[in-house]
A = this chain, B = another copy of it.
Amino acid sequence: MSEKKRRRTEAGPPAASAALKKSQRSGSHAQGLRKQLKPDAEILASVREMYDAAQSAASSSKALTLSDLSLSAACREVSDRDVASVQLAIERAVLAMARSILAGRGFSFDVPSRAASNQLYVPELDRIVLRDKSSSRPFASLSTVRKATITARVLSLVYAVLRRDIHVTKRDLFYTDVKLFQDQSQSDAVLDDVSCMLGCTRSSLNVVASEKGVVVGRLVFTDDGDRIDCTKMGIGGKAIPPNIDRVGNLESDALFILLVEKDAAFMRLAEDRFYNRFPCIIVTAKGQPDVATRLFLRRMKTELKLPVLALVDSDPYGLKILSVYMCGSKNMSYDSSNLTTPDIKWLGVRPSDLDKYRVPEQCRLPMTEQDVKAGKDLLEEDFVKRNGGWVKELDMMVKTRQKAEIQALSSFGFQYLTEVYLPLKLQQRDWL
C-alpha cells in the first residue's frame, strides 16, 4: 500500500473524514460561544429582571382599552361572557324580533360590518379593532332574506348548544342544516356576525376551533376539572384544549413563556427539559397559530403576568406568525382584545443572528421573490414600524435576501439550540 493511500485510509473514508473535519470546525466555533456562557445562576438573574419588569408593568399599569382612548363609541368590541348572559342576549334579540313582527314591521337584524373598510389599527392598543358601522339585514327583502334566515337559524342553534352547555365545532354547526347553509363559509360568516351582534366572543357561543397547539413546562392548570401538571407531560406535552372556558386555575413558577413556531424545536426543548434549567413554559401552535393556542397564550400572559419570548424562523413568515399572535388576524378583528397577546419579544432566530452565530452559508436559504415581497409588505405594517429594532432586522433580511429556519442551528450539533443558543440569548438579554 502506498504511503499516500495509507494516510488517507488512516483518516477514515473521505466522506467520513470531511464530516469529521467539519464537525471539528463547527465544534470549535460552538465551543467559542459556549465559553461565553456564564453560570446558570447569573443567566437566571438576567432573566429574573425581565420577569420582574413584566410583573410590575402588569400590576402598575392597567392595560389600555378602547374606553380609555374614548374610542368605545366609535369602535366595537366583544368580550367573554358566561353561558347565562349569552342565552339572555339571544332571548332579548328574539323578543325584539317578535315585538317588531307584532307591530307589523316584520323583522330585521342589525349586523355590525366586518369589512376591511370598517377596520382600524389603533397604535395605542397595538392591534386592529372594528369601527361601529353596521348594516340592516331585513327578512322582508329579496337581497337579504337568505342571510336573515341563516342568522335566525344560527341564533337558534347556538341557543341549543348553550342550553346543554356543550361545545361544538363550526363544522358541526354547518352539518345541522346543509340545505340552508349550502356551504360552510356561509354559516361560518354568520357565526362571526352573531358574535358581533351579541357582543360576545366566539368561544362564549361555545363554538370552538380544532386544536393544534401543545404546551410543556412549568405550568399547572385544570382542563375540564382535571389537574394538569405540564412538567409531567413527557416529551409529547399536553394538547391545548379547544375550549378555553373549561381551562382554569393557572399556576406557575416560570420566569417567562417561550413561544416556539415549530414542532421540531418544541420537541428538542421538551426532550432536553429546557424548562428545568430555565424555568419557563414552552408552547407551540405548530405553524400558523390557531384560535385555541392564541386564547391560551393570552390567558397565560394576563393571568401569570409573564414575559413572552418568541423563537421563530428567520423569514417573513416567522414574523407574520408573530403578528398574528400580537395584533390578530384581520378576519377576527372584532375579537382582537381577547385573541391577542401584546408585547411579545422577538428572541430569535433573527437575521442578525445568522452572522453573529456564524450560521454556515449552506444552511441559509435564498429568499424567493415572493419572500422578498412579503418582507417589504411587513415593513409597511404599523406593528413593525413602531419597533425600530424590528425594522432594522427586517431591512437586513430583505437586503441580504437570506432566510434560515430554527433548524439551521442544528448544523452546530443537535443540542446547540438548548445548550448554547438560547442560554446565550437569555444571558445577553438579546431580544427586541
How far is A239 from B94 in the complex, measured between Cα atoms in Å?
42
Q: How far is the CB of A414 from chain B (nearest CB, A)?
A: 5
A35 interfacial by beta-carbon distance below 8 Å: no
Q: Is the CB of A13 within 8 A of B97?
A: yes
Q: Tell whether A239 pairs with B214 under 8 Å between CB atoms, given A177-B22, A410-B176.
A: yes
Q: How many copies does the complex hold?
A: 2
Note all chain B residues with C-beta closer than 8 A to A240: 236
Size class of the A contact interface (CB-based, 8 Å): 35 or more
Q: How far is the CB of A186 from chain B (nearest CB, A)?
A: 14
How far is A346 from B141 in the complex, measured between Cα atoms in Å?
48
How far is A8 from B222 in the complex, measured between Cα atoms in Å?
48
A39 interfacial by beta-carbon distance below 8 Å: no
Note all chain B residues with C-beta closer than 8 A to A268: 168, 172
Q: Is the CB of B410 within 8 A of A167?
A: no
How far is A334 from B144 in the complex, measured between Cα atoms in Å?
59
The stretch among A117-125, A196-204, A223-231, A274-282 that forms the contact with chain B is: A223-231
Q: Is the CB of A15 within 8 A of B243?
A: no
A234 interfacial by beta-carbon distance below 8 Å: yes
The stretch among A50-58, A145-153, A251-259, A380-388 that forms the contact with chain B is: A145-153
Note all chain B residues with C-beta closer than 8 A to A173: 410
A390 interfacial by beta-carbon distance below 8 Å: no
Q: How far is the CB of A403 from chain B (nearest CB, A)?
A: 13
Closest 6 CB pairs of A and B: A223-B234, A236-B241, A179-B362, A15-B152, A15-B149, A210-B263
